[in-house]
Structure 1
Amino acid sequence: MAAREKKIRRTPRRPAPRSRKLEQHIAVFGESGSGKTVLLSSFYGAAQDQAGREDSQAPQLYDLVADDTTQGDRLLKNYFRMENSAEVPAGNRFRAEPYRFTLSLRSTPSAAERKAMPVDAVQLVWHDYPGEWFERSVSGPEEERRRIEAFRALLVSDVALLMVDGQKLKDAAGEEERYLKALFHTLRTGLVRLRDEILVGGKELVRFPRIWVLALSKADLLPEMDVDRFKALVLEKAADELGQLREAIESMVVGDEALAVGEDALLLSSARFTPGRIAVRERIGVDVILPLAAMLPFERHVTWARRQEIPAKVARELAENAGTIGTGAMALAMFGARHRLPGRLGLISTALATVVPLLSKDMVQDAASLAGEKLRGVHDRALEKKQSLAAILTGFKIDLERAEREGVLRRSRR
């Protein structure tokens, strides 16, 4: 009996397998009527609209598919009703429903290629938080429970979009501060109201949305407004209220140095709306959402994790759990795991099991800061060698650079 017990004690415990998914969550916050439901329908409809995709000169390397067929069909119904009947979808009042999308490669990798890939799947989870829950009190205990559950579900998000309603901003022309101050006050009050329910025992959170992007919805109504003018307007008219919102968010997280509230900005228009017609293919910024959700957290986490003043557990969380797979595997996915890596990365073995532990902080930084001609060179090599995942991720970074040149996106330089 003793020998048997001794044998059991010597049996090693197998560690749980580490996920190889690049899974990014995005949370969308805005008042009711700010265009959140239309935006989601436009985002998915554009990904499925074959006629619209054929106009693009870029090679189509992937498909984006809703994991829940019923959800996907509902979004497509909204999209095609906008296109064919000029019918705007109704908002999700008092209901928070996450949507999960999977990016699948168009060319199926061989068994050897799949083994070498540091990522098995790329997924995006979209959390649409109802504006009504910021604007008014809940009706009872059941709705309060659903509100808290919805907010807890989106805590894994790295990126949050703060929707500024372009229609309301236009209506307040000359007095924009009235609308902007009220908006940020409403969002801050809603977060403060949730604070005690979200923080168990008052303990601040490590996992929490840390990149809060100012997003101007219905940007087609303000054609003279580029992203820099938009951000300047917000700071001119409501910098104090935006700062108070940031303080409310800071009070909920560990390591508030790793936090960007209103530092990034994006213009969004789900379609061009005219009387009797909705031009769904005349979008602004919608095609930037997936690249933003996939790449911005990686870039920002690497930058933040290099800072010595960030608490160790926050730096570790950002470095190891960013996008589920970790920053090292993300860097390899960008460069492609089966061909010689550029620069210092080329000096080490490209066998995946060997490379990931050997990636230094500088090497990961090289991947995060890849830009300009060097970025295009890595992207072109990935296309040439049919490294689809690397081509997709570097293509996402190219999309972000293009959006900045076009005045649609502005990333924080901090």
Structure 2
Amino acid sequence: MRWYVRAMAKYPRVREQHIAVFGEGGSGKTVLVSSFFGPTQEGSYSNDLWDLVADDTGQGNRLYQNYLGMRDRARTPLTTRFAGTTYYFSVKLKGGDNAAAKKRPFDTLRLAWHDYPGEWFEESPSSEEEANRRVDTFRSLLRSDVALLLVDGQKLLDNTGEEERYLKSLLTNFRQGVLRLKDDLLGDEDRLVEFPRIWIVALSKADLFPDWDVYSFRDLVIEKATDPLDDLRSTLKDFVDTPDALSVGEDFMLLSSAKFELSAAGPEIDVTQRVGLDLILPVASMLPLERRVQWNERMEIPRKVLDTLADGAETLAEVLTGETFLDINKLVAKLPKFGPLASMAGLPALAAAAKMAGPKLREINAQAREHHDFLTATLTQFKLNLDQGVKDKLLIRSLK
């Protein structure tokens, strides 16, 4: 997740976060992003904290068109092939004219959703131009802290009783695809400092398994595909500086864009039956903050890595806890870039924000809403949603 304040102008003040989505062709990536965005554009949609807009109007119209095709005509979007796309969405906070808005550090959260073509993991490049495009597309998503690796629910169902065949093929193809990019991505660098650090294994089309919770999915993957998952983890560790600050196959998630059914009258799609998509923003914004604290507490992390890991975490913690980071920022400037003190910057305050939960979190959220502090209300709501996703057994967060 790369957060920054837009430097070209004072307004709008923007924080940006990135998420990378990987999956084979037909795994439902286009349907997912359409169902993430589409419902927020309906006339009946209501959100008292923020509005979601697509930064590119044409892109937004196409995604909403996809959603309307599912909602009104039970028609799924056309499959995209060999097209690497980044979608930019802005979460625009409400209450821009009130007193709390003038004090908040930013007004807009931008989500960059990187969709990496699944075919590029299944087939070799057909030309040097395509090979270069694959490298450039992968480089564009290196700013992501969170990556989703989709397991296609339909293919899992098609391989009932032999799920290991599909899972091994999926993970091996992905590993080999990444290995093909390794030399070009590393260049003259020994290891990459900036690289997705949290790799969530996510079941797409989870509606095909109505009796499953996320633990059912996790248990199947571990039972059937531990070795290829370990191989993928080892490969990704070879890419990164401080490889212990990397979670691969420790977090799991259920995702479904809608409920798809066949009836005597033909296909039916109930777009109101979505699973996990409301967790995308909380996962992208809150999970890196939590993981940074977890890693910081058990290992020594170089400053150059810390600066890219959940960048802007201090600002998030300030909003969540109401603490000021002026003294902490002065301390950070004096800390060494290496050594035992390098990773301690702001840790107590960050830990307080990352571990905030239960009644205290709900109290801060309620107070923020009462005082029309839309930023604090939004971030605490994201954290509440993340906790609820765990309680609802839609998400497993690594404890390491």
Partner of residue 10, structure 1? none
Partner of residue 255, structure 1? 242
Unaligned runs of 5+ in 2: 1-6, 332-344
> Post-superposition shift, 1:200?
1.1
Partner of residue 336, structure 2? none
Q: Is residue 233 from structure 1 mapped to residue 224 from structure 2 by the alignment?
A: no
Q: Is residue 292 from structure 1 mapped to residue 283 from structure 2 by the alignment?
A: yes
SS in structure 2 at match of 1:203: coil
Identify, as 1 or 2, the structure richer in helix.
1
Q: In 1, Cα distance between the equivalents of 2:230 and 2:93?
A: 42
> Post-superposition shift, 1:97?
1.4
* Code of the aligned partner of 1:61: L
SS in structure 2 at match of 1:274: strand
TM-score (norm 1): 0.86
- Pair 1:360–1:378, CA change in 2 (3 A): same
1:367 to 353, 360, 367: 353
2:36 to 35, 40, 43: 43
* Code of the aligned partner of 1:399: N
RMSD: 2.0
- Pair 1:117–1:355, CA change in 2 (3 A): farther
- Pair 1:245–1:201, CA change in 2 (3 A): same
Q: Is residue 246 from structure 1 mapped to residue 233 from structure 2 by the alignment?
A: yes
**Counterparts in 2 of 1:1-400, with a 5 A limit?**
21-51=14-44, 53-54=45-46, 60-110=48-98, 113-275=100-262, 276-318=267-309, 322-323=310-311, 326-335=312-321, 341=322, 345=323, 357=330, 360-400=346-386
* Code of the aligned partner of 1:69: T
1:61-102 deviations in Å (ceiling 9; x for gaps): 101101000100010000001111111112221111111111
Q: In 1, Cα distance between the equivalents of 2:294 and 2:304?
A: 15
Q: Which one has a bigger Cα radius of gyration?
A: 1
Q: In 1, Cα distance between the equivalents of 2:395 and 2:307?
A: 29
Aligned length: 375
- Pair 1:90–1:166, CA change in 2 (3 A): same
Q: Would you say the 8 A contact 2:96–2:107 is kept in 1?
A: no
* Code of the aligned partner of 1:313: K
> Post-superposition shift, 1:305?
2.9
Q: Would you say the 8 A contact 1:305–1:316 is kept in 2?
A: no
Q: In 2, Cα distance between the equivalents of 1:28 and 1:360?
A: 31
SS in structure 2 at match of 1:28: strand
TM-score (norm 2): 0.89
Q: In 2, Cα distance between the equivalents of 1:49 and 1:270?
A: 16
1:148-195 deviations in Å (ceiling 9; x for gaps): 110000000111000000111111111111111111101100000110
Q: Would you say the 8 A contact 1:104–1:121 is kept in 2?
A: yes
Q: In 2, Cα distance between the equivalents of 1:115 and 1:63?
A: 18
Partner of residue 13, structure 1? none
> Post-superposition shift, 1:396?
0.5
1:105-128 deviations in Å (ceiling 9; x for gaps): 222233x53442122321100000
Q: In 2, Cα distance between the equivalents of 1:296 and 1:187?
A: 24
Unaligned runs of 5+ in 1: 1-15, 336-340
> Post-superposition shift, 1:294?
1.2
